[in-house]
Amino acid sequence: MQWEKEKITLSDGAEVEAQAPVIISASRSTDIPTFYADWFISRWKAGYLKWINPFNGKPLYVSFKNTRCVVFWTKNPKPMFKHLDFLDKNIPNYYFQFSLNDYDKENFEAKVPSVDSRIKTFIELSNRLGKKRVVWRYDPLILTDTIDISELLRRVKNIADQLKSYTEKLVFSFVDIDIYKKVENNLKKEGINYIEWTPELMDEFAQGLYELNKEWKLQLGTCSEKIDLEKYNIVHNKCIDDDLMVELFGEDEKLMEFLGVKVEQANLFSDGTVTKTKKLKDKGQREDCGCIMSKDIGQYNTCPHECNYCYANTSKELAKKNYQNYLESKNNESIF
């Protein structure tokens, strides 16, 4: 299944063909709410953006004409707060995937604000949007010679104790070092003595999390993990999630039509039902990713959070250079 195409007119008057996706992912490749919030708003006002294919360097234009939902991914949405009124008025539907890890001691996320600061930001965003629209991610879980499973669980508990009333879901992943060569290279470059996750270690962590969650009562899910942890009430998550969209935005007929969902409202004779007629799994993601299809508008090598484990940056230096180039440019159609 492909996105619809349409002709758009660029700022220089040229006419080009553009994808017109219904769902936008913003973004797995960089932190748009933190670093490119102003750019996103300016492009939304313009009605389109330019995306550079990372594999062949060719530009592709994306129109917002048909967009009904935007999923924001971020570690610090604070810079986006000034635009929330605009989002509410101009974007039909949106929600946040908020990665809130605790690696302060190790400085694994060098340019990310402190854990305490981000917890306050999370609560503020949840109070504004509602707890269903702010999904907490602890992503990724990293084991080292100084961070064992009990220490990871302690850090998760500290955050969860404070967020349990402000979100309904915790999504986590085990750092994939053998899959992403960039991750391995970045960790080795920083001299981090990491420990590979094994099925046995994953199970041990999941069991500990299950016990802790008896108090929090959060929905638990893994992100792109093959291991089956259902015995601990941990599901395979969908971050671009049609079920969540139905729950939150079920009255949006255009979005439901795209999702292939028929919603029968509850009445005196029925509790209401949801029927799905389409399979929309995103074939561009890994086999174990549960996400439905979306158009990601981010770019690799543009996020200056300086996370040591980053899979989206070849190097911190290149990411900083590209971000500086962005700051020095004006009216960019693309992030670069």
Q: Which residues of 289-317 are buried (b: 16+ CB within 10 A; e: fewer)?
A: bbbbbbbbbbbbbbbbbbbbbbbbbeebe
What does the block give as tokens for 129? Answer: 């949007």
Confidence of residue 135 (pLDDT cuts 50, 70, 90): very high
Q: Is the pLDDT of residue 266 over 70?
A: no
Q: Is the pLDDT of residue 36 over 90?
A: yes
Residues 159, 165, 167, 173: is their CA dihedral positive or negative? positive
Angle between helices 115-129 and 149-163 (to 10 degrees): 40
Confidence of residue 267 (pLDDT cuts 50, 70, 90): low
Residue 54 near residue 299 (C-beta atoms within 8 A): yes
Residues 6+ apart with CB under 8 A from 110: 305, 306, 307, 308
Amino acid at 93: N
Confidence of residue 273 (pLDDT cuts 50, 70, 90): confident
CA distances from residue 322 to 70, 143, 172, 315 in whole angstroms, order as listed: 24, 30, 29, 11
Q: Which of these, 66, 110, 125, lies nearest to 307 by C-alpha position?
A: 110
Total H helices, total E strands in the chain: 10, 16
Mean pLDDT of the chain: 94
- Which parts of 134-198 fold into alpha helices (H)? 149-163, 181-189
What per-residue confidence (pLDDT) applies to 272?
Answer: 66
Q: Is the pLDDT of residue 39 over 80?
A: yes
Q: Is the pLDDT of residue 263 over 90?
A: no
Tell me the C-alpha distance between 307 and 302, whole Å: 12
Task: Classify 206 as helix, strand or coil.
Answer: helix
What per-residue confidence (pLDDT) applies to 269?
Answer: 62
DSSP track, 271-335: --EEEE----B-TTS-TT--PBP-EE---TT--TT-BTT-SS-S-HHHHHHHHHHHHH--S-SS-
Tell me the C-alpha distance between 269 and 278, whole Å: 27
Q: Is the pLDDT of residue 183 over 90?
A: no
What per-residue confidence (pLDDT) applies to 278?
Answer: 87
Q: Is the pLDDT of residue 331 over 90?
A: no
Confidence of residue 262 (pLDDT cuts 50, 70, 90): confident
Q: Is the pLDDT of residue 2 over 80?
A: no
What does the block give as tokens for 252? Answer: 């949006």
pTM metric for this prediction:
0.95
Amino acid at 289: C
- Phi then psi for residue 223, to 5 deg, are -110, 115
Could you tell me the residue ranges of all domains in the chain? 4-328
